[in-house]
Chains A and B, each alone.
Chain A
Amino acid sequence: MRNGQDVSNLESMVLSREGLVTPETTTYREAISRAIGDEMRADSRVLILGEDIGESEGPLKTTMGLYKEFGPTRVRDTPIAEEAFVGAALGLAVAGYRPVVEIMFADFLGVCFDQIVNSIAKHHFMSGGRMHAPLVIRAIGGGGLRFGPQHSQTGESWLLNVPGLRIVAASAPDEAYGMIRAAIRDPDPVIVLEHKALLGTKGSVIFGAAGIGNLESPRIVAPGEHVTIVASLAMVPRALEAARQLAGSGISAEVIDIRVLRPLNAQVIVDSVKKTSRLLTVEEQGVHGGWGSNVVAEVVQQAFDYLDAPPIRIGLPDSPLPYSPPIEDRAIPSVERIAQVARELIGRSI
């Protein structure tokens, strides 16, 4: 119990390392703004740069209240120039700041690819470890909202084989809050992938220091026995719903949110497959060269003898995501498709 805290609502409190805290129901969008604001309040070195993030509070309203509280110096609108302002984050970091940059659509990571891959990711290494690059690149991606081929990508696997980067993906409000705060505190460059279809979703979040998450490993979000389903971003709630449907037919699915795409620590997944003997990965991107392939490779290398069926990866077709609603909807793995493939996987068991 912390000094003078209101205990009238004791049943809703949870015990954390900070004592008893009350989770609040909040949106993914609100969780993002609050994470940044809480870090800015805690550390005067933190500032945020991006397009329309100041007085406008972000094109997707992910910086609500920040400009009003911290002003234009620390909440800085930039020209439409990702290469310059993302590279500027490296300069700020080297000079002692803790910059956060917002990439309005993850698709625009392509515009600043050189700065991320050649400047930011390698700066610590090329200095022989003498300089650090503590900075955060937040990129809001994902499909399902009819934004068409250039504004719907998650960008999840574009940077997977770039040493020097930590890449995380937030699937729920508590993850958005916890991982953004942890990312800002991390000594290395962290890319935080967010999903715009999740912005309005609600969840329970512990705000404050107790809510700061880890950037270490995947997390089991629903325990199960018969099949392991690994998903990211907006595919996590779909996988959870698929697991509920499967439960109705007596199939117990373990759902894992991969969360940390790089460096991949597959231990949680390997341990899960040792229990379930079946693996399904669900990505909102093409499966070729995706993180699902890495997960399958790790499982095959570490738990081959436990597998009762070949692992299956599902994702988008090998095509850009189309605009038209019926075909966009069919391209993205649905709850029904995830459940169906899980059933087939179990039926195919040897």
Chain B
Amino acid sequence: MPSDRATGIDPDTRVGMLDLFTTMVRIRKFEERVRSAYLEGLVHGTTHLCIGQEAVCAGVVTVLRADDYLIYTYRGHGVCIARGMSLAAAFAEIFGRRTGVSGGLGGSMHLTDPELNLVCAAGIVGGGLPVAIGTGLAAQLSGRGQVAVAFFGDGTVNIGAFHESLNIAAVWRLPVLFVCENNYYGEFTRIDRTTPFEDLVRRGAAYDMHSVAVDGNDVMLVREAAAEAAGRARAGDGPTFLECRTYRHSGHSRTDPAKYRPAAEVEAWLARDPLPMFERRLLESGVCESQELERITAAVLEEVQAASRQAETAEWPSADDYLGCAMVRT
């Protein structure tokens, strides 16, 4: 990815930068609508928002190829949107409607779309990492330079599946990007009470794997690191552990007000909101005028609202839509 070290932005990539901005705004507006829809009773059970972490999913996903595999978690709406999932189908899934990406069988935690290689949204912490090993092995065997990307949070680094998977990726030199979204809280508990150190990049290094830590709220830095990691993987140089340091603006899930977080910490991170950070950068480096960003934001908001409206009126699934669907051959 071309980038000018002084500004982080090559003027030739203006359209690319605005696309990236659009993606981040789309994720933010989508998640804000999920939040308000929850309060309106349209979202059922629970939901896990990635507001505040948009730079990670947007930065990583936008450097990938169409044939790369994506594995992520219940906090995965941003990954799916960055990959181009239909907003109406995503909303419909979250609202439990038949027109959802999985016909309403999976819900908010399990948005997937095989046509986009969005192959696994694990609801179990660490559950996706072994699947990433399998897709990574398939990518290696294909010989076409594909990669598999696994997103997971800081809470995952203490579960067995994580360690088993990193070890296999390292010993088989699989083309896998382990993207650790370190938001410093595993559910309701701060990292210092669960893990002996906060710089989780060391977990990757422990498996003798190329390991990098970046400011996960700076989308350009995330992109650069992800592009480098993907390039290494495609060239046969094995996996990368990419720690992206970030923060979720809301609680773990919709029922969590996140009162366990110190006010000063929240304030410091809100001041580093990835969207205004990127906006400032675009304006200061002269990529565009603020009116253009406002125009994009307004257009995205309209797009999100229209998609939500479409999903809100979609039909409900019936028992016939799910009974007998656990197996291909019943």
Listed in ascending order, the chain A residues whose CB lies under 8 Å from chain B are: 73, 78-79, 81, 83-97, 99, 114-115, 118-119, 121-132, 163-164, 166, 186-188, 263
Contacts and interface: CB of A to CB of B under 8 A. Distances in A.
A131 B327 contact: no
Given A87-B129, A115-B130, A126-B112, A94 B105 contact: no
B137 interface: yes
A84 B127 contact: no
A91 B133 contact: yes
A115 B103 CA distance: 23
Contact of A83 (B69, B139, B160): B160
A132 B328 CA distance: 7
Interface string B123-138: 1100111111111111
Contact of B135 (A73, A86, A92): A92
A87 B135 CA distance: 10
A88 B122 contact: no
Contacts of A90: 120, 130-131, 134
Contact of A164 (B104, B133, B327): B327
Nearest to A99: B134
Nearest to A88: B134
A91 B164 contact: no
A83 B130 contact: yes
Given A94-B119, A96-B138, A97-B138, A126 B102 contact: yes
Nearest to B330: A263
Contact of B325 (A78, A125, A186): A125
B165 interface: yes
Nearest to B100: A128
Contact of A84 (B123, B133, B328): B133
A87 B103 contact: no
B167 A81 contact: yes
Contacts of B161: 83-84, 87, 114-115
B196 interface: no
Contacts, number: 149
Interface string B148-163: 1000000000001100
Contacts of B205: none
B102 A119 contact: no
A123 B120 contact: yes
20 contacts: A79-B167, A83-B130, A87-B165, A91-B119, A91-B130, A91-B132, A91-B133, A91-B135, A91-B136, A91-B148, A92-B138, A114-B161, A118-B124, A119-B124, A128-B102, A130-B113, A131-B114, A187-B328, A187-B329, A263-B330
Interface string B104-119: 1110001011100001
A127 B106 contact: yes
Which of A91, A132, A186 is packed against the most chain B CB atoms within 10 Å? A91
B328 A119 contact: no
Given A123-B120, A126-B105, 16 more contacts: A79-B168, A79-B171, A81-B168, A85-B133, A87-B134, A88-B137, A90-B130, A90-B131, A91-B119, A91-B120, A91-B135, A92-B137, A99-B134, A115-B127, A127-B112, A128-B106
A88 B103 contact: no
B114 A91 contact: no
Nearest to A135: B134
B101 A119 contact: no
Given A91-B132, A128-B106, A188-B328, A84 B168 contact: yes
Give the one of B71, B104, B105, B134 with max A CB within 10 A. B134
Please provide the 8 A-B residue pairs with the shortest distance between their CB atoms, ordered closest to farther. Answer: A91-B134, A87-B130, A128-B102, A95-B138, A84-B164, A88-B134, A81-B164, A128-B103
Nearest to A84: B164
B326 interface: yes
A36 to B, nearest CB: 18
Given A91-B130, A91-B133, A91-B134, A83 B105 contact: no
Contacts of A84: 129-130, 133, 161, 164-165, 167-168
Given A130-B114, A188-B327, A93 B134 contact: yes
B141 interface: yes
A203 B275 CA distance: 69
A112 B98 CA distance: 32
A73 B123 contact: no
Contacts of A118: 123-124, 127
Contact of B105 (A114, A125, A132): A125
Contact of B102 (A78, A121, A127): A127
